[in-house]
Amino acid sequence: MGAEETLFQRFGKEFPKGTELFREGEAGKEMFVIQAGKVSISKRVRDVEKVLAVLGPGEFFGEMAIISNKPRNASAVVNEDARLLVIDPKTFEAMIRGNAEIAVRMIKKLAERLSEADAQIENLLHNDPASRVVHQLIQIAQTRGRASEGGSTEVDFPVREMPRQIGVGEPAVRSVLDRLARAGLVATSGDRVTVYDTARLHDFLQYLEMKWKFGDL
């Protein structure tokens, strides 16, 4: 029996798609580690449920309620049938105290999430929907992009998730991507986008912001 299966035997549970693991504002009594499947993390913003992240195998969530002993600051729903490790506060503390590597990995992940939260806040400050799409594309290219031929960058840009992430409808997102493709800044293939030059994309974002501010002169 492998290490993952041993952990699942001790702490694991299976959850079908659609299971609500916890809601924003509830008391938190455990954290979760994903062994298989996907979980979406969302938060209510001005009466609209916005998806903050979709997590996959190897990711953890729900730890802040244990660390701070405060209510959940977001909601979690199973996106795909999932196998999760459910860790209670006592086990969590023992893991952190007994394994420095786990503690360091958690600190790095929390810092990464803080950076992503800052980027989302920055994105929502853009009033222009097109600017939000371009800003999101730049952020993903810089943080999760894959180097490709000729200095370009490939990114996974799931258009169907954009309305909940940045508050821009799917048709508008596709329209912006088509516009970028016509301008020779990107190439699209399904949910995969190739960014030819991130610096030029930054220039285009500045152009959109100036146009939104001053209009067509």
**Residue the block writes with tokens 């977001």:** 74
Residue 108 shares a structural domain with residue 145: no
Number of domains the chain contains: 2
Residue 106 shares a structural domain with residue 11: yes
CATH number of the structural domain spanning residue 87: 2.60.120.10
Predicted confidence (pLDDT) per residue in 171-190, tens digit: 989 999 999 999 999 999 88
CB atoms within 10 A of CB 156: 12
Residue 24 shares a structural domain with residue 59: yes
Domain that holds residue 13: 3-113
Residue 148 shares a structural domain with residue 93: no
Residue 81 shares a structural domain with residue 11: yes
Residue 207 shares a structural domain with residue 141: yes
- Please say whether the beta carbons of 77 and 40 come within 8 A: yes
Continuous segment of H or E residues that includes residue 36: strand 31-45
- Please say whether the beta carbons of 193 and 152 come within 8 A: no
Whether the pTM exceeds 0.85: the reply is no
The dihedrals phi and psi of 32, each to the nearest 5 degrees, come to -135, 145
Structure tokens at 61: 């969530």
Predicted confidence (pLDDT) per residue in 147-169, tens digit: 887 789 998 888 888 877 777 88
